[in-house]
Amino acid sequence: MKKLIPILFFALLGALYAQEVKVVFSRTTPPYVINEKSGIVVDIVKEALAHKNHTVKPISVNIARGVEMFKSGIADANSLVIESMDMKGYYSDCFTQYHNKAFTLKNSGLKIGKMEDLKDYHMIAFQNAVIYLGDRFNKVSKSAGAKYSEQADQKLQVHMFYEGRTQVIIMDENIFKFYTEMLVSEKKIAPNIEVVQHDFFLPTKYQVAFRDKNLRDDFNEGLKNIQKNGRYKKIYEEYGKKYFEVKR
């Protein structure tokens, strides 16, 4: 009985400390965020925080709105940040990465050999790309002037690309693949359209920004736990099997 007392005490202490954490997730970024209940990023964040009995209340908004909600204190955490954004919070260890690429249609015959060549063409990138993709791309976007724009709705971004309403799109390779397959399944675009990938960007490593240091520490501990026990890898595998390729 004496041995059970400290165990029960710490279990009760953990339960009392457990919080509902309001976490911002970016909208329209499948398979990373499918909806407020599922997606690679959603599952990783939920399971890492669950290690210390915390629960997650998802807030699904576009990237720019998510930044404002975190800064204003409406959200406890933002799940898609890089440290250079300086969001005045406590940053977690890196927990996922996106690999952004520039895509063009093969039949367009565009001459693109280096990142700077993009400035000569009409291009659409994901929201806040100039922040996430670094100074070099930021300079390219400024050189492009009115030919450069950003789009919060990434499905629309992909559709515009295949319709020829833009010459270049810049987005994560898995999100591009997901929406391409979806548009084919919806018969909005033809299958097997040839695309050229321009690999100008290093993978972008993402962190979670927390307003509370203890929550950040709990997340890091939970993240290490699911990486060690194999659950982290399993999450990626489950979504890969389920969504690639999308059934037509």
The dotted CATH code for 100-198 is 3.40.190.10
CATH class for the region spanning 18-97+205-243: alpha beta
**Model pTM score:** 0.84
Q: Which of 96, 147, 99 is CA-nearest to residue 121?
A: 147
> Please, which pLDDT band fits residue 158 given cuts at 50, 70 and 90?
very high
Mean pLDDT of 184-199: 95
Q: What is the largest CA-CA distance in the chain?
A: 77
Residue partners of 237: CB distance under 8 A and separation at least 6: none
**Among 9-18, 98-107, 203-212, the least confident range:** 9-18
Number of neighbouring beta carbons within 10 Å of residue 229? 10
For residue 150, the 8-state DSSP code is E
Residues 168 and 165: their CA atoms lie apart, in Å, by 9
| Angle, helix 231-243 to helix 213-228, in steps of 10 degrees | 80
Query: Which residue ranges does the chain devote to CATH 3.40.190.10?
Result: 18-97+205-243, 100-198
Which amino acid, 219? F
| Angle, helix 40-50 to helix 231-243, in steps of 10 degrees | 160
Q: What is the pLDDT of residues 28-64, one digit of tens each?
A: 789 999 988 899 999 999 999 999 999 999 999 988 8
CA distances from 95 to 32, 91, 194, 228, 232 (A): 12, 11, 32, 13, 9
Q: What is the pLDDT of residues 71-97, one digit of tens each?
A: 999 999 999 888 788 788 999 999 999
